[in-house]
Amino acid sequence: MKTVLLALTVTALLSSAVAAPVKLGSLPVTLEPNAKLLTLNEAGIVKAFPSVAGRPEFVFLTEDRKVSVAFEWRQGKLTPNQVPDLVAQFPAVIRAQVPNVKSLKANVLQIGGTPWAQFVFTTPTQGDELRRELLMTSAEGRILVVTIAGNVKDYSRNEAVLRTLTGSVRVN
């Protein structure tokens, strides 16, 4: 993850996001990006996420390039009624796949009238903790994942902008 954030920081393939509602490419999502967010273009996404498996379709970065917000549409099946089941089941998956999970919180949220499973977890790093937040919901019967990743202190510094962005997400 550190490599991904470094690649996101180093890449010069960024452009300012517009404040009007936008549809995110082929994703069934619209949102209102904040003028304080940058958008990583396709070449930047490929550079930051070299593996096709798990490569997000859309990525925003905070102005300081310290926190990323990635949107990914996965092939797995999920209905809106199954979202609460994720909250009960997915923490075990996170603990099995992510080494040294220090804290983990799981909740169901409503964003734009849609139920989302929220997982916030931290792992130790030198000098700070890495904070990752996964938001997962059903979109056209598939799993839509929003991943917010950065160090705890960088997230805290950018929290208002990040919350405004995630609060504006609408599944079409």
Q: What is the pLDDT of residues 25-59, one digit of tens each?
A: 889 999 997 888 999 999 999 998 888 888 999 99
On whether residue 68 sits in a domain, the answer given is: yes
Residue 19 has a pLDDT of 53
Residue-number span of the structural domain to which 54 is assigned:
22-171
Cα within 13 Å of Cα(77), Cβ side: 0
**pLDDT tens-digit map of 111-150:** 999 999 999 999 999 888 999 999 999 999 999 999 999 9
**Residue 85 forms part of a structural domain:** yes
Note whether residue 160 is domain-resident. Answer: yes
Is the separation of the CB atoms in 146 and 152 below 8 Å?
A: no
Are 26 and 57 a contacting pair, CB within 8 Å?
Answer: yes
The verdict on residue 1 lying in a domain is no
Q: How sure is the predictor about 22, in pLDDT bands with cuts at 50, 70 and 90?
A: confident
Number of domains within the chain: 1
Dihedral Cα 57, 107, 4, 73, nearest 10 deg = -20
Higher pLDDT, 15 or 139: 139
pLDDT above 70 for 13: no
Is residue 110 assigned to a domain? yes
Identify the H or E element spanning 154. Answer: helix 152-167
For residue 59, the domain's CATH number is 3.40.1000.10
pLDDT tens-digit series, residues 76-101: 899 999 999 999 999 999 999 999 99
Residue 157 lies in a domain: yes
Q: Bridge-partner residues for 111, per DSSP? A: 114
Inside any domain, residue 161: yes
Using CB atoms within 10 A of its CB, is residue 4 exposed (0-12), middle (13-18) or buried (19+)? Answer: middle
Quick one: tokens of 89? 């089941």
- Beta strands (DSSP E) in 56-111 are 58-62, 68-77, 103-111
Q: Is 33 part of any domain?
A: yes
Q: Cβ distance 49 to 66 under 8 Å?
A: no
Q: Is the pLDDT of residue 8 over 70?
A: no
